[in-house]
Amino acid sequence: MIGEKQDALENNLFDSSNSHGWYGCMSVGRPFSSDDLSWIIKDQTTKDYIYDDLGEPFRVGVDSGKLTWTYGYYKYHLIGSTHTKDLVIYFNKDGTVSSYVFNTSFPEEKEKWKSREEP
């Protein structure tokens, strides 16, 4: 069902006769909770634990010899602001988290994160 809605969205993105109410808006990726990332602990949290909590990564890759998983949610608007967020997790060879990077342009999340001192 989700795939059908995504296909309909992509096919009707610029169709002004669209009866679904989708005009110039498209989302890519899957929303994920970013309120509290303190559960991701360097050298302890495993790939399996990440997968169980966040599901299938949007992208996988490698950076300087470290496996990376990226969770992303990108909300594009034809008119107005585009908002994006991503969580890139770097893994050690033993499958534990080496480090991670989180970034967001969603206004409500930006406000929460700007004043934090820790994840």
Residue pLDDT, tens place only, 39-56: 999 999 999 999 999 999
Tokens of 73: 């949610």
- Please tell us whether the domain made up of 25-114 is placed in CATH 3.30.1450: yes
pLDDT for residue 12:
42
Going from the C-alpha of 118 to that of each of 26, 41, 77, 84, 113, the distances in angstroms are 32, 12, 31, 21, 9
Output the CA torsion 34→39→45→49 (10° steps).
Answer: -70
pLDDT of residue 110: 87
CB 37, CB 63: distance < 8 Å: no
- pLDDT tier at 23, thresholds 50, 70, 90: low
How do residues 79-102 score in pLDDT, each as one tens digit? 888 999 999 999 999 999 999 999
